[in-house]
Amino acid sequence: MKEQLGERIAVIIPARNEAQTVGEVVGEVRLRFPHFDIIVIDDASEDATGEIAKQAGADVIRTPIRLGYGGAVQTGLKLAHKRNYDLVILMDADGQHDPASIEKLISAARGNDFVIGSRFLGEACYRIPLIRRLGMKIFSAIASVVVGRKLTDTSSGFQALRKDVYSLFALGDYPVDFPDADMVIWVARHGYRVAEVAVRMHERKSGRSMISGLASSLRYALKMPLAILVTLLRVPSRRGGKQK
């Protein structure tokens, strides 16, 4: 693919105990996009995640203590802000996010500030538990109303973020866990353009989802409405400013 002239792009991959998959993920991204910087945030892994990622060609930042998914992502975004990238691609280390779909995210980001890769518009090669799927649809519908356009997969961690958006999270707040509709609403309420594209997602090759098991699913279902409400109260709408 052809990037915009002079555009600097980083692929940020948060990872904890993903030694079984991170090397393959980094390797495929490096093969497809040799000019991109690949940054793996090793969230105090207890296995060889960092070493394998580095061998595969990534720049590895290891956190001294476990920060959790949100903390690892924000660490990567802070580094991106320091290095002044034009665009950040955010993806997982577990093999679910297909690197071939990165091109779609980048293409959509040419006219938008924040692009979500949706498995519901594209293809998810695995079954999503009914309760979790229902919650995802409800929270995506709420975000759709606020954003002013239909969204289907606000829980997707496969994203493209322009500099203004990733700097918003690097210099401010980022959800510690379950970044979802509240994060999308946060971006939209600041006036940035939000879009979705169809992507392909695979079955997780190892490890467990952040939202797995009854207790975790219930916590997600209880926390997200509150997080959405707090976000709406914190930021007055600036739609009509940067949004087009």
What is the pLDDT, as a whole number, of residue 244?
A: 44
Q: For position 160, what pLDDT does the model report?
A: 98
Please write the tens of the pLDDT for every residue from 94-114.
Answer: 999 999 999 999 999 999 999
Tell me what the pLDDT averaged over the chain comes to: 88
Ranges assigned E (strand) in 56-164: 59-62, 87-90, 114-124, 159-162
CA trace torsion 110, 161, 163, 236 (10° rounding) = 110
Place of tokens 């792009």: 9
Which pair of tokens denotes residue 117?
Answer: 């890769």
Specify the CATH number of the domain 9-234.
Answer: 3.90.550.10
| Torsion sign (Cα): 147, 151, 157, 161 | negative
Parallel, antiparallel or unpaired: strands 87-90 and 159-162 = antiparallel
Residue 214 and residue 70: Cα distance in Å, rounded? 21
Q: What are phi and psi of 151, to 5 degrees?
A: -125, 145
Question: Looking up tokens 């030694």, which residue turns up?
Answer: 19
What's the pLDDT score for residue 229? 84
Residue 179: the pLDDT is 75
pLDDT per residue as tens digits for the range 145-186: 988 999 999 999 999 999 999 999 999 888 777 678 899 999
Instruction: Indicate the domain borders of the chain.
Output: 9-234
- Predicted pLDDT of residue 210: 54
More confident residue, 129 or 79: 79
The per-residue pLDDT for 174 is 85
